[in-house]
Amino acid sequence: MRHSILIILFLVASLTSFGQEVFKGEHFIEVTESAEMEVEPNEIFLFVRLREFEENRTKVSLEKLDQDFLQAVKAANIDKKNLTIADAGSKLEKIRRKDKDTFREKSYEIKLTSAAELEKFLEKIEPVKVDQLDLTRLHHTDMEKFKIDLKVKALQAAKSKGSTLLKSIGAEIGKPIMVRDWDQDPIQPLPQARANVMMYNKGESDDMDVEDQIGFRKLKLRAQITAQFEIK
C-alpha cells in the first residue's frame, strides 16, 4: 500500500512539472523575418581554356595561343597577380591514337574588379582563338559585412513585428529568449551571366555578341532570422 502511494505521488509530481513546462512555453512569441539587398560585385572570376586546333591542315600550337592570350591580358591592363594557372598544360586530350592528332590545352582563372574591366578584357581577347571562356563566379570583398548588416535588420524587423502583434491583444514584448539565423549564400545570376563568349572548334568560329552574352546582374543577398520574445 505504501509503495502504491509513493507511485501515485511521483506521477502527480511529474504531471505537475510537465504542466508547468507547457504553461511556461506559452509565454513567448516566435517571429520570423528576413531582409534583402542587391550588391554590385567587385570580384568577377573567369575561366579561360586554350586548346590547340588545326587551321588549314596546320596545328596552331599551345605556345602560340598562350602568347597571344598573355598579350591580350597585358593590353587590358590586368594585374598579373589576378591571373592564375588552373591547368599547367600537362593534360593531353587524345582525339585519335596518333601523337600528331593529340591536342594540348591550358586553363587560366582571371579575377576582375568591375564590369568595365570585363568589357575591356573581352575586347582585347576577341582576336585570340579561345576554346572556352566562362564567367564562373561573382563576389564582393565586403560580403561578410553585408550579411551581418542584413541579419541585424531582419532581427529588428522581427522584434517590431512581434511588438505590433502583441499590442493588438493588449500585451507587451519582453526580452529575447532565442535567436536563430539562417545562413543563405548569395544568389549567383550565372544562368544569365555565363559567358561562353568565344569558342573555337574544328577551325570554325561562332559569331557572338559579347554584350548580349554577358549582361550579368547584381548579387542578391538575403538573411532570415527566427526569434522568440517573452510576453509581458
The pLDDT, as a whole number, for residue 189 is: 62
Burial 201-210 (b: 16+ CB within 10 A, else e): eeeeeeeeeb
Cα 183-188-192 angle, rounded to 5 deg = 160
Whole-number pLDDT of residue 153: 97
Identify the pLDDT of residue 190: 52
Answer yes or no: are the C-beta atoms of 195 and 213 closer than 8 Å.
Answer: yes
Cβ burial, residue 112 (10 Å; 0-12/13-18/19+): buried
Which pLDDT does position 103 carry in this prediction? 85
How far apart are the C-alpha atoms of 112 and 43, rounded to whole Å?
A: 6
Residue 196 in contact with residue 213, Cβ under 8 Å?
A: yes
What cell was used for 110?
A: 582571371
- Which cell numbers in the block locate residue 193? 551571366
Residue 77 has what pLDDT?
A: 95
Q: Which of 186, 67, 211, 39 is nearest to 129 (CA)?
A: 67
Q: Is the pTM of this model over 0.75?
A: no
HSE, CB side, 13 Å, CA atoms: give it for residue 56.
Answer: 0
pLDDT at position 177, please? Answer: 95
- The predicted pLDDT at position 185 comes to 77
Residues of the chain scoring pLDDT < 50: 5-13, 15-25, 90-98, 191-215
